[in-house]
């Protein structure tokens, strides 16, 4: 088999490409290089530059590389930006997926793995979020991911595709320094960025109904996430599969700030509390029982591994942080 990995030069995509190659699977990456870095791709994984909105390019790529399965990660993913630019997000994330699925069906590609998100759940009022927890997204990004799931499942039923929708929780860490997340939209690099600039990392709200008053989240190492894609790609069968990808363990923002300070050695300035952000739920922690049962996957790395590996990558890309 040959797998097309859309968004394959991105932070998550490059980890997936490496995991697939390490597992002996043939892969080709498609990336428009808007945020991805071609240097992240492993040797032997060719890169096609372009967008999933380009149907002729998709048709050529699927045919020339003999693609038999697709792992679709390419998407816009910033929550705040999605609120400001909903039309762009629906065009990139939903229309782009539609164009890709049309090309897949036309090329008789039978396997499709979709990158979804815990954002589909919105503000779940439960201790552990299962795949049966109601999906009530709170922003256009989450809406596009839920719509994407509906579209993937519907296309699967109509055209005989084997499909999987993977709902990521909070992705962190790096398998190698050069693969690290260089953006500052996620909590760990946000803390790194503040400390690098000599500023106090911000904790948004400390009056939530949690043990230390700060929000609790489920963090998943990006290498574990990549290996979950391998398991999903190999475990596809008739019908569709929808699974959470998390650890089932919650870490508070305060605990994360303390761990970042310990691992970086940058205890000053200490994190400070800012007002709550609108729409932040108190606790979002996954139940990962279904993926363990269905695919035999389970995470191997803890939150300390995530922070330490992310810091190594941060230092490589931001040497001024030393």
Residues with catalytic roles = 141
Q: Which residues pair with 164 in a beta bridge?
A: 113, 241
Nearest Cα residue to 167 out of 126, 125, 210, 120: 120
Reply yes or no: is the peptide bond before residue 286 cis, omega within 30 of 0. no
- Count CB atoms within 10 A of the CB of residue 32: 18
* Cα(14)–Cα(55) distance, integer angstroms: 23
Q: Which residues neighbour 74 within 8 Å (Cβ) at sequence distance 6 or greater? A: 6, 7, 10, 13, 30, 31, 32, 51, 52, 96
Tell me if 127 sits within 8 A of 285, measured CB to CB.
Answer: yes
The residue among 182, 246, 190, 241 whose CA lies nearest residue 12 is: 182
- 3-class DSSP state for residue 167? strand
- Which residues, at least 6 apart from 312, have a Cβ–Cβ distance to it below 8 Å? 174, 177, 180
| CB of 286 closer than 8 Å to CB of 246 | yes
SS3 per residue for 30-89: EECCCCCCHHHCCCCCCEEECCCCCHHHHHHHHHHCCCCEEEECCCCCCHHHHHHCHHHH
- Which stretches within the chain are classed as H helix? 11-22, 55-64, 79-84, 86-89, 96-106, 140-159, 187-196, 222-235, 253-264, 289-295, 303-317
């Amino acid at each position: 088999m040959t797998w097309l990995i859309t968004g394959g030069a991105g932070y998550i995509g490059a980890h997936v490409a490496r995991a697939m190659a390490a597992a002996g699977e043939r892969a080709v990456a498609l990336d428009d290089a808007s945020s991805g870095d071609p240097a992240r791709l492993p040797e032997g994984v060719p890169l096609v530059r372009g967008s999933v909105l380009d149907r002729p390019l998709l048709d050529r790529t699927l045919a020339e590389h003999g693609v038999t399965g697709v792992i679709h990660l390419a998407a816009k993913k910033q929550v705040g930006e999605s609120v400001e630019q909903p039309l762009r997000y629906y065009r990139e994330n939903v229309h782009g997926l539609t164009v890709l699925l049309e090309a897949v069906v036309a090329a008789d590609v039978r396997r499709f793995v979709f990158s979804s998100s815990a954002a589909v759940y919105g503000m779940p009022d439960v201790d552990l979020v299962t795949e049966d927890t109601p999906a009530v997204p709170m922003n256009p990004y989450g809406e596009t991911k839920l719509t994407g799931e509906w579209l993937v499942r519907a296309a699967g039923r109509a055209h005989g595709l084997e499909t999987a929708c993977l709902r990521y929780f909070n992705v962190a860490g790096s398998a190698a320094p050069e693969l690290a997340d260089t953006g500052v939209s996620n909590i760990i690099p946000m803390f790194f960025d503040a400390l690098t600039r000599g500023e106090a990392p911000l904790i948004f709200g400390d009056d939530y109904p949690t043990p230390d008053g700060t929000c609790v989240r489920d963090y998943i190492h990006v290498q574990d996430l990549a290996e979950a894609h391998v398991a999903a790609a190999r475990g596809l069968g008739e019908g569709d599969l929808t699974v959470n990808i998390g650890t089932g363990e919650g870490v508070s923002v305060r605990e994360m700030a303390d761990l970042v300070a310990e691992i970086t050695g940058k205890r000053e300035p200490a994190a400070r509390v800012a007002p709550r952000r609108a729409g932040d739920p108190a606790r979002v922690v996954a139940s990962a029982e279904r993926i363990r049962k269905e695919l035999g996957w389970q995470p191997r790395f803890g939150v300390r591994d995530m922070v330490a590996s992310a810091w190594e990558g941060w230092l490589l890309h931001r040497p001024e942080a030393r």
